Amino acid sequence: MKLLVVLAAFVAFCAGSPAHLVPGDNSHYVEGESRYIWMPDGTGVPHLVDLLEKPSDEDITRISRNGANNEYWLYTRQNPDNYQLLVHGDVNSIANSNYVANRPLKVIVHGWNSNGHSTINPMITAAFLNVQDCNVIVVDWNRLANSLYWTAVIGVPGVGAHLGNFLVWLINTAGGNWNNVHLVGFSLGAHVVGNAGRAAGNRPARITGLDPAGPNWGGNSNALRSTDAQYVECIHTDGGLLGIFDPIGATNFYPNGGRNPQPGCWISTCSHSRAYELFASSIHNNHFVGRLCTDLQEARNVGCTGGVALNMGNSIISKRGGGLYGLTTNRSWPF
């Protein structure tokens, strides 16, 4: 009898669980209104997120300091697979590493529920090192990224500020050139690199925002901005769902309409991750050519045919541009 009571309670719990009420394709989601949304972790596995589940008031001060837990992992052609840890304030950690001041510097920042080993990092690191002898720094901010989504959102400015301050210290201490600095961030990581650029006085040459996170970011003053670096570019692949659709960069690319579903994607979270896959492919091949759009609606409808063309993504540090661009891609690598 006791077992039957327990089973009945379990069934009742499952029946009332939001996971049974929220469509897996996020077709229910209305930006700024919906409470629940499915979001992928660093391996692409979807998790149901409560967008209203906030940290307690006493945690907010602690969260704002969480960027001190950032780790900075250096990869070069001399150590493409095993990182060297650079520690803010520890000159010996640089002196004993393969960091070379006159190389270009690439910085990669993951998103929510991820870490330094999540798919985006080795994929983009390998692409950069394949085409260029450069320093690649992967930022691991997993201690905050693997908390409640709202907790991570609140912590983004602190994580970004600590990153920006680290880069200022690194270049002032070990040498480097801001005109060779390229920051790349995915989802929440896109807003992290925006805050890092601000903390560094908007000096980085380039920021690439890969489907900047959308939930809780519309109208958010801490979101990535077009002025956070000398040139800010966004690649939108899941706009209106996991990504923000608004053109928050100086240049904004909308491959395949910039929305779910992207070609070859069967689950909604795939379209979000497609941003970093397209970017990695563009580093290798530089083959995505966008056409200027007259407005956002034309981009949404995959109808951009303007006479101005600009390549999406790639690793060219001197890249500049502005406006909205649309293009189509294939269903599988290299797209």
Catalytic residues: 187, 211, 272
Instruction: Tell me how far apart the alpha carbons of residues 242 and 274 are, in angstroms, rounded to a whole number.
Output: 12
The beta strand positions in 51-104, using DSSP E, are 71-76, 79-86
Task: List, in order, residues 6 or more apart from 69 with CB less than 8 Å away.
Answer: 141, 143, 144
- Alpha-carbon distance 262 to 328, whole Å? 10
Q: Which residues of 53-88 are buried (b: 16+ CB within 10 A; e: fewer)?
A: ebbeeebeeebeebbeebbbbbbbeeeeeebbebeb
Give the whole-angstrom CA distance, residue 105 versus residue 204: 10
Q: What is the DSSP string of 147-198?
A: S-HHHHHHHHHHHHHHHHHHHHHHHHHH---GGGEEEEEETHHHHHHHHHHH
